[in-house]
C-alpha cells in the first residue's frame, strides 16, 4: 500500500484486512459498521502482533535480565515510540493509561486534587464527552473549585466569544475536545490553547476523535495535556495515551503508586522514577502497547492525510445521503472542512433506539443514545440521537445502505 497523499485511499481494498468487515453476515450481506466513533474495527495485523507477543516473548517488562524479558520491554517501548511519532510528541512525555478517560483523570486527580482551591475555575465546553467533564466535577467537589460550561452555537460549534468571556484570572484549566464525538465539529484547539495560556491556565485537549482520523501534531497544538485512546484507532481495548508537556509531567506529583513508577521506596517515603514511567504504576498494558504500535504503523502506511481526505469524501456522501431521507435532522456543522465523519441525527416520529434496532436488521450498525454528552444534548433540547460514524474502511456502500435503511425504517414505524 503506497503512502502517497496523491492517491486516494481504497477503502474497499482495506476492508480485506479487517476480519470482522471481510466476513459476510449469515444472510450473506455485508456488515455496514457505522459506529467507529464508539470503537474501531481491528486489522488482522494488530491481532497478530499481540498474538506473537504472547506466543514468543511474553514476560513482564523493565525488570527482567533474561533475554525474553528484554525483548518484551523492547516491543512494549517500541509501541510508545510509534504513538509518540504519530502525534509528533517526545516519547518520554507519552504516558500509557488504560483509556482516554484515565488519561484525563490522571491530570484531574494528580494535578487537580493537589493544586485546585476554592474560587478556582475549570472551563469546559458544553460539547465535552463525559470523560472530559465528570473528572473535573469530581475534583471540583473535593477541592471547592468550580466547573464552568462554555455554550455551543446553534451551528454546533464552541461559542468562541463566550469562551473569551469565561477564560480569565480565575481559570486554572481549560479542557476541550478536539473533534466532537456527537456533532463531528472540529474545534480550533490551537486558538483555545493560546487563549488559555494567555490567562495563565493549563489546557487539556481531548483528542480521542481526532488522532484516529486526521494528522494531529501535539507539539503544534501546544496543550499541556492531550489524551486519546487505542481502541478507536485500530488498536486494542485496554490502552490510552496521555501526551503531556514534558516539563509539566516532571513537575507533577505522581498519580497511581506502585511498581515501576518508583526510584526508591523506604518506610519513610518514596522517590519517583523518570517520566514517563513515573506515571505508569504496576504492570502496564504490554500486549496492548504492542498492538497499538502495530495499529500506528498501519495508520502511518496509509497516511493520516489520506485518512482525513477519505473521510471528507465520506462525510460529504453522508450529508448528501442523509439529506435524501425525509424527516431527518442532522446536528452539527455541514461544512466537511469543519467536521469529521460522525453524524448525529433525529428522524421525525422514530425514536433513536428504534432506528438503531431497525437498522441492525439491515446489517447497519449505528449508535443510539446520548453518546456520553448529556449536557450537550440537553442544551440542544433532545434526549438522544442516532449516530452514524465512519472510518478509513467506510465505503459508499455503507452510506447507501444507511440511507436506504433509514427510509425504510421511517415507513415501518408508520412515521411517514
User: Would you tell me which residues interact with another protein (CB under 8 A)?
Assistant: 23, 25-27, 31, 56-57, 62-71, 73-74, 262-264, 273, 351-354, 357-358, 360-363, 368-370, 374, 377, 383-384, 412-414
Q: Smaller CB distance to ligand PLP: residue 100 or 186?
A: 100
Largest CA distance in the chain: 73
171 binds, among ligand PLP, a second copy, another protein, none (CB under 5 to 8 A by kind): none
Which residue of the chain is nearest ligand PLP when measured via CB? Answer: 282
Distance CA 61, CA 69 (A): 6
- Complex with a second copy: residue 107 or 325, whichever CB lies closer: 107
Binding at 383: pick from another protein, ligand PLP, a second copy, none (beta carbon under 5-8 Å per type): another protein
Sheet of strand 385-389: strand arrangement: 328-331, 342-347, 385-389, 367-369
Beta carbons of 298 and 49 less than 8 angstroms apart: no
Nearer to ligand PLP, 75 or 213 (CB): 213
β-pair partners for 270: 265
Q: What DSSP character marks residue 298? A: H
Contact partner, 74, from ligand PLP, a second copy, another protein, none, Cβ < 5-8 Å per class: another protein
Q: Which of 150, 234, 365, 372 is catalytic?
A: 372
Q: Which residues contact 45 (CB under 8 A, 6 or more apart)?
A: 17, 294, 298
Nearest distance in Å: CB 190, a second copy: 25
Q: List residues binding ligand PLP (CB under 6 A).
A: 37, 99-101, 129, 131, 177, 181, 206, 208-209, 229, 240, 259, 282-283, 372
Handedness of CA 88, 283, 276, 143 (dihedral sign): positive
CB 24: neighbour CB atoms within 10 A?
Answer: 11
206 binds, among a second copy, ligand PLP, another protein, none (CB under 5 to 8 A by kind): ligand PLP
The angle subtended at Cα 57 by Cα 59 and Cα 80, nearest 5°, is 80
Contact present, 395 and 311 (Cβ < 8 Å): no
Closest CA to 97 of 243, 226, 242, 233: 242
* 372 given a catalytic annotation: yes
Which is nearer to ligand PLP, 94 or 229 (by Cβ)?
A: 229
- Taking the least distance from each CB to a second copy, the nearer of 44 and 316 is 44
Active-site positions read 372
Amino acid at each position: 500500500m503506497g503512502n502517497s497523499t496523491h492517491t486516494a485511499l481504497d477503502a474497499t481494498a482495506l476492508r480485506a484486512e479487517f476480519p470482522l468487515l471481510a466476513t459476510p453476515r449469515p444472510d450473506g450481506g455485508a456488515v455496514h459498521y457505522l459506529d467507529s466513533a464508539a470503537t474501531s474495527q481491528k486489522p488482522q495485523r494488530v491481532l497478530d502482533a499481540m498474538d506473537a507477543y504472547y506466543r514468543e516473548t511474553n514476560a513482564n517488562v523493565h525488570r527482567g535480565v533474561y533475554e525474553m524479558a528484554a525483548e518484551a520491554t523492547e516491543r512494549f517501548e517500541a509501541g510508545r515510540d510509534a504513538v509518540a511519532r504519530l502525534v509528533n510528541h517526545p516519547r518520554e512525555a507519552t504516558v500509557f493509561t488504560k483509556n482516554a478517560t484515565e488519561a484525563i483523570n490522571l491530570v484531574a486527580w494528580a494535578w487537580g486534587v493537589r493544586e485546585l482551591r476554592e474560587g478556582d475555575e475549570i472551563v469546559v465546553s458544553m460539547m465535552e464527552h463525559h470523560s472530559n467533564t465528570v473528572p473535573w466535577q469530581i475534583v471540583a467537589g473535593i477541592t471547592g473549585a468550580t466547573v464552568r460550561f462554555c455554550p455551543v452555537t446553534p451551528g454546533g460549534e464552541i461559542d468562541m466569544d463566550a469562551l473569551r468571556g469565561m477564560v480569565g484570572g480565575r481559570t486554572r484549566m481549560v479542557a476541550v475536545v478536539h473533534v466532537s464525538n456527537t456533532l463531528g465539529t472540529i474545534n480550533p484547539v490551537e486558538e483555545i490553547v493560546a487563549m488559555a495560556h494567555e490567562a495563565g491556565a493549563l489546557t487539556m485537549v481531548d483528542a480521542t476523535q481526532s488522532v484516529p482520523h486526521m494528522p494531529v501534531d501535539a507539539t503544534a497544538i501546544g496543550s499541556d495535556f492531550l489524551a486519546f485512546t487505542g481502541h478507536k484507532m485500530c488498536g486494542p481495548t485496554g490502552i490510552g495515551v496521555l501526551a503531556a508537556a514534558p516539563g509539566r509531567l516532571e513537575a507533577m506529583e505522581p498519580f497511581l503508586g506502585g511498581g515501576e513508577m518508583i526510584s526508591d521506596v523506604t518506610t519513610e517515603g518514596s522517590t519517583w522514577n523518570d517520566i514517563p514511567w513515573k506515571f505508569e504504576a504496576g504492570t502496564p498494558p504490554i500486549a496492548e502497547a504492542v498492538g497499538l504500535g502495530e495499529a500506528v504503523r498501519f495508520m502511518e502506511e496509509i497516511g493520516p492525510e489520506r485518512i482525513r481526505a477519505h473521510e471528507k469524501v465520506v462525510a460529504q456522501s453522508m450529508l448528501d445521503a442523509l439529506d435524501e431521507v425525509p424527516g431527518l435532522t442532522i446536528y452539527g456543522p455541514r461544512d466537511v472542512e469543519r467536521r469529521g465523519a460522525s453524524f448525529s441525527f433525529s428522524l421525525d416520529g422514530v425514536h433513536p433506539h428504534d432506528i438503531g434496532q431497525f437498522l441492525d436488521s439491515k446489517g447497519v450498525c449505528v449508535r443510539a443514545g446520548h453518546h456520553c454528552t448529556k449536557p450537550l444534548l440537553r442544551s440542544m433540547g433532545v434526549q438522544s440521537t442516532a449516530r452514524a460514524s465512519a472510518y478509513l474502511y467506510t465505503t459508499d456502500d455503507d452510506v447507501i445502505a444507511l440511507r436506504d435503511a433509514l427510509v425504510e425504517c421511517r415507513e415501518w414505524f408508520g412515521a411517514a
